[in-house]
Structure 1
Amino acid sequence: MKTVLYARVSTMDQTLDHQKTQAEEAGFQINEVVADHGVSGVSTRLRERPEGKRLFDLLREGDTLVVRWVDRLGRNYDDVTEVMRELLSAGVTIKTVINGLTFDGSKSDPMAKAVRDALIGFMAAMAQAETEARREAQKAGIAAAKQRPGKYRGRKPSYSREQMAQVTAMLTNSDTISAIAKATGLTRPTIYRIKDQPEECEKALHLWRM
């Protein structure tokens, strides 16, 4: 039996090391880490994420899956509840770093399962509500900023034009993400963003006159 941490790293302020440290500080002894980088949890189902697919193949009956919060497991209420129930039915126990919740996949008592499933539904609904609230707040902030011509530029790039050029060259040379991170001093999420969204990255540099 093993304990697996699943992490989704989609923004500059989310790092794999930070999420792993949080889990360990909460008392988890992690045997393996599975992480998706630069993947949106709002638009991409867990099974459609590169490492999300591997997670289902990796987990076995008796294993424990650790996530920062249940929103890591799906895009919305339906996704989260579907994934959690599938894993629980396979005998996997799911635990969260935030609030230290445990969803026991070994439960067979009908009443215990009913209570567990009700809690899953509540947590999934709350996670979706929080995600939608953040999205609406961001949209409102962006809309207000766009009313002021020349003011809205988005977040300042964490990379320079020279670093972007170096990343692009190393990717062309088939260098690994780890090697590029070491050579450029950039985080892995930033490198993945340059790799997957070069036009957006170039646009950001232009907007910030970098």
Structure 2
Amino acid sequence: MQTILYARVSTTDQTIAHQRIQAEAAGFEVDEVVADEGVSGLTTSLNDRPQGRRLFDMLRRGDTLVVRWVDRLGRNYADVCDTIRELMRRGVIVRTVVNGLTFDGATKDPMQQAVRDALIGFMAATAQAQAEASKEAQRAGIDHAKGREDAYRGRKPSFTRAQFNAVREALSMGEGVSDIATVTGLTRQTIYRIRDNPIDSEAAIARWS
């Protein structure tokens, strides 16, 4: 039995190495890392990714698949649900670094199955909702400034996209605002603003990009 970390990175602000560091810091002993780079989780299913197909070929009954969160598997509700259920049917245990979730097909109790399946659905829906909100924010920012050099873009954000992504990732890991401010060099007020209004914050970045 082996533990495989699957990492997916879709932008230059994310790294495979960081996802491995997070997994190992959470206590996972990773035997191998399989990763897809520059792939959208919203439009490309795991089976359609080069390394995603390899992952399915590698996994055997009793193996553990580790992902940072379910959005690494995909950001489409139906696709994520189908992927996790297929892995469980194969006897693979799926575990996440964020929130420490475990999806295991071993249970035969119908109530436990119902709770597990409801959680899968909720996580998959959340992943798609976050992806669509982010995409909409970027589109709004681009549409606002497109073809209008004199367009009012509002106040220039005090953070870069890399800092925005770093803050969002740290918040999802449960890190404190003060610690995030120290690491990113941003003020606590900026961290709170990103936390409380992530869509508006990302739209501001898009308007000024």
- If the length of structure 1 is used for normalisation, what is the TM-score? 0.69
Deviating beyond 3 angstroms after TM superposition, the runs of 4 or more aligned structure 1 residues are none
Q: Which residue of 2 aligns with 1:81?
A: 81
Give yes or no for contact 2:75–2:131 (8 Å, CA) kept in 1.
no
Radius of gyration: which is bigger?
1
For 1:150 and 1:93, locate their aligned partners in 2 and report how far apart those are by CA, in whole Å. 54
Say whether residues 1:121 and 2:118 are aligned partners. Answer: no
State the Cα RMSD in Å. Answer: 2.0
Cα shift at 1:106: 1.9
Q: Which residue of 1 aligns with 2:13?
A: 13
Cα shift at 1:113: 1.3
* Unaligned segments of structure 1, at least 5 residues: 153-207
Cα 1:150–1:22 change in 2 (3 A) is farther
Say whether residues 1:144 and 2:123 are aligned partners. Answer: no
1:42-191 pair list within 5 angstroms: 42-149=42-149
Percent identity, aligned pairs only, is: 66
Give yes or no for contact 1:4–1:64 (8 Å, CA) kept in 2.
yes
For 1:145 and 1:93, locate their aligned partners in 2 and report how far apart those are by CA, in whole Å. 46
For 1:145 and 1:72, locate their aligned partners in 2 and report how far apart those are by CA, in whole Å. 31
Amino acid at match of 1:132: E
* Unaligned segments of structure 2, at least 5 residues: 154-208
Say whether residues 1:34 and 2:38 are aligned partners. Answer: no
The 3-state SS of whatever aligns with 1:115 is helix
Amino acid at match of 2:117: D
Give yes or no for contact 1:92–1:106 (8 Å, CA) kept in 2.
no
Give yes or no for contact 2:94–2:102 (8 Å, CA) kept in 1.
yes
The 10-residue stretch of structure 1 (35-44 or 82-91) with the greater mean CA deviation from structure 2:
35-44
For 2:29 and 2:132, locate their aligned partners in 1 and report how far apart those are by CA, in whole Å. 32
For 1:106 and 1:64, locate their aligned partners in 2 and report how far apart those are by CA, in whole Å. 13
Give yes or no for contact 1:70–1:127 (8 Å, CA) kept in 2.
yes
Q: Which residue of 2 aligns with 1:187?
A: none
The 3-state SS of whatever aligns with 1:42 is coil
